[in-house]
Amino acid sequence: MGSTDGAWQYSGWNIDDLKLFTPLSTGIQGDVNRDGVINVTDVLDIVSNWGSCNGVCAQDIVPDGTINVSDLLQVIGNW
């Protein structure tokens, strides 16, 4: 955890101690590289990042912490 200025406190937590993760998205489910189209580039991005995902990964379309066949099928299904 980084340094804090202690300006905002709530039940002993400084507000700037929090880290929020949000999905990366263009609004098109399956557009992994966020270029506005779903194509072979998105499929290759899924395959090249196959496996565990720590934090928020654009390739983890089905947010289960793993880039796998479920994510690949989402891309192919929306192509």
CA–CA dist 39, 46 (Å, integer): 11
- pLDDT-based confidence at 55, cuts 50/70/90? confident
Confidence at residue 65, expressed as pLDDT on a 0 to 100 scale: 92
In a domain, 8, yes or no: no
Q: Look at residue 16 and give its three-state secondary structure.
A: helix
In a domain, 28, yes or no: yes
| Helices 40-48 & 69-78 angle (0-180, nearest 10) | 170
Q: Render pLDDT for 19-49 as a digit per residue (tens, 0 to 9).
A: 555 555 556 888 998 888 999 999 999 999 9
Per the structure, the complete domain to which residue 68 belongs is given by 24-78
In a domain, 16, yes or no: no
Confidence at residue 41, expressed as pLDDT on a 0 to 100 scale: 95
CATH number for position 34: 1.10.1330.10
Decide if 75 contacts 30 (C-beta within 8 A).
yes
Report the number of distinct structural domains present in the chain.
1
Integer angstrom CA distances of residue 62 from 6, 30, 38, 46: 37, 10, 16, 12
